[in-house]
Amino acid sequence: MIEALRDIGYSLESAVADIIDNALTASATAIELRFGWLGGEPWIAIVNNGVGLTSKELREAMRLGARDPREVRDREDLGRFSLGMKTASFSQCRQLTVVSEKNGARSGACWDLDIVRQRDDWGLLPVTGAEMAALPGIEGLSGQGTGILWRKIDRLDLDGDNDRSRRILNARMDSVRRHLSLVFHRFLEGDPRRPRVAMAINGNPVEAFDPFNARNTATSHMLDEKVTIGDETVSIQPYILPHHSKVSPQEYERLAGEEGYLRNQGFYVYRNRRLINWGTWFRLAKQEELTKLARVKVDIPNTLDQLWTIDVRKSRANPPHAIRERMRQVVDRIRQSAKRPYTHRGTLVMERQKTVKQVWVRRVFNERNAYEIDLSHPLVEDLRMDLEADTRSRLDAVLKLVGSSFPAALFFSDMGTDPKKTEPVAPDDEFLIVLARMMRDACTAENETDFRARLLLVEPFASLPERMDRIIAQLEEDT
């Protein structure tokens, strides 16, 4: 049984988060994760300043399934099955040692799976005072709190204390940092009703990562929904993240996360402020490019665990039927708002195109879109008129080839991956002067004011009005 429990499906990140759940339930306000090597073997310790456990309470906490998950729990309790500490630890290591201090008394206990297997007996090992003093990573435990130590770590592809193993462990702990900064961001940020929780890894603070960017003035906060199930309330708060043009490249990339905006859109389900599921629409909608900025915070209490089918790892949740239809309505409403940063910008472009002559035009044929070079653009038209009929025909064929070969799929992929990198690079002055000279030679404007106005009606000059004085001055010098 104990070997089978090791493969419930924890990752290192979710296992550490499950241990931290217990610390938060114990009212901890400071949690330190430490890791290192001792005798050529890695160890990981998680120490908190919570209320701690007596010797009797510790023994009970080490027992698997000590509480019925159907029991009524404290509303701030992040546990459910009384399995988390044990199964999370066993998923990563074969030796779990817990040391706790309460009311000035320190006690310790250890599960060693090799000894359990050897004896074929559920023998919980006591930890003496001298043994506790020699444990790595536990030295920060003082006065009150609990320290959890993992040794005989066998699930991280480590092979002794060498450069490769150290790099692997460091990289995995960096991944743990990112996971904790998201999953517990509301604890790390704090709120007026609860103290802020401090977390650190080997002395380096874990900073909160708010997936909604709620403090940014460009983030859209939509009206929240309250759904009642029995005597409990589920809160649904939609957000629309800022368009990439309204934030810095660094902030836009940070908000995208490792998997990008497309994968991170959807519902973010919090159980007692702890994030347990994110980046999904629960099959109520498709993940689309135009809705990639939509993220919806869903707050549920632990009293609805059974309805939401919360699993042992607290990394999965499914909305009950009683709330799915309401969530679907919310999705329909926010999807329209989520598209607005893109469609609104598109509308502005269309309005602008009515007065500004573009190089590219969009044609619609049988409900299909095509992009072409606009032959009526002044520079293109002037060039065409200077050519003999045969040469003009050849030029038109080449321009049609350029238009029909527009890499729409590649452009869409680049925009979806990183729109900041897809924005056109502004042309230099030398190039603009060449184009302006061509415009002047083809222009019938009577004076400089008319010529300037004519330039501002044509791309690329229309997008660069602040550079027109320099361009016109240079043309006058050439004259």
The predicted model scores a pTM of 0.71
Question: Tens digits of per-residue pLDDT, 179-206?
Answer: 999 999 999 998 878 889 999 999 999 9
Q: Are 266 and 281 in contact (CB under 8 A)?
A: yes
Q: Can you give the pLDDT at residue 179?
A: 97
Q: Which two tokens stand for residue 382?
A: 């002037």
Question: Tens digits of per-residue pLDDT, 429-445?
Answer: 888 888 888 877 766 55
Q: What residue spans define the domains of the chain?
A: 2-205, 220-348, 360-478
- Where does the pLDDT of residue 338 fall: very low under 50, low under 70, confident under 90, or very high at 90 and above? low
Identify which has the larger pLDDT, 383 or 349.
383
Question: Tens digits of per-residue pLDDT, 286-311?
Answer: 888 878 889 999 999 888 878 887 77
Q: Regarding the domain with residue range 2-205, which homologous superfamily does it belong to in the CATH classification?
A: Histidine kinase-like ATPase, C-terminal domain (3.30.565.10)
Q: Which of 41, 10, 16 is nearest to 173 (CA)?
A: 16
Q: Which CATH architecture has domain 220-348?
A: 2-Layer Sandwich (3.30)
- CA distances, 376 to each of 257, 360, 361, 383 (Å): 44, 10, 10, 11
Q: Can you give the pLDDT at residue 67?
A: 55
Residue with tokens 């949690």: 31
Q: Which two tokens stand for residue 303?
A: 């009293």
- Using a CB cutoff of 8 Å and minimum separation of 24, what contacts does 287-292 make? 287/262, 287/263, 289/262, 289/412, 289/415, 289/416, 290/338, 290/339, 290/342, 290/343, 291/265, 291/335, 291/338, 291/339, 292/261, 292/262, 292/264, 292/265, 292/338, 292/416
Q: Please give the average per-residue pLDDT across 159-180, as a whole number.
A: 94
**C-alpha span between 192 and 76 (Å, rounded):** 16
Q: Are 226 and 300 in contact (CB under 8 A)?
A: no
Question: Tens digits of per-residue pLDDT, 63-111?
Answer: 886 555 555 545 555 544 456 789 999 999 999 999 999 988 999 999 9
